[in-house]
Amino acid sequence: MSPCAVLDSTILVSVFLTLGGAADALVDHAKAGRITCAVAEDILAETAQVLLATPRIRQCYPYTDPDGQDYLQGVRQAALVVSELPPLSEIVRDPNDDMILACAVAESASHVVTRDDDLLLLGTHEG
């Protein structure tokens, strides 16, 4: 069985905007079955919000709404989408990030892949 990594929205956005980058390589490993990528419904919703409704990003990167929607559908097909999360709260400095840890706990993930400083400061949670 391959290791499981939870991808947060910062990584999912990066994969979409920067093809060929480090985050994109992670997705290639997932497609090859060397790692399982897990995301929660809330992570996908946050990614959609950033890609489809953030003017600053839309000004810097030329893509259409259908491009973003197709990408998100591809993530849904390639990743393990977790819909039921255990109740976790007040673990991370930013409460919006608790969903990422909850996804990791739900899937017994060995890694969380993020660029979020609040999550990076935590280091580990329950091993």
Look at residue 36 and tell me if it is in a domain.
yes
Look at residue 44 and tell me if it is in a domain.
yes
For residues 65 and 48, give the distance between their C-alpha atoms in angstroms, rounded to a whole number.
10
pLDDT, residue 39, reads 93
Look at residue 42 and tell me if it is in a domain.
yes
Q: What is the CATH number of the domain that holds 61?
A: 3.40.50.1010
Q: Which domain holds residue 57?
A: 4-122
Q: Tell me: the pLDDT tens digits for 60-117?
A: 998 999 999 999 998 888 888 998 887 866 666 666 778 888 888 888 888 888 887 7
Look at residue 88 and tell me if it is in a domain.
yes
Look at residue 127 and tell me if it is in a domain.
no
pTM: 0.84
Structurally, the chain folds into a number of domains equal to: 1
Q: Tell me: the pLDDT tens digits for 49-58?
A: 999 999 999 9
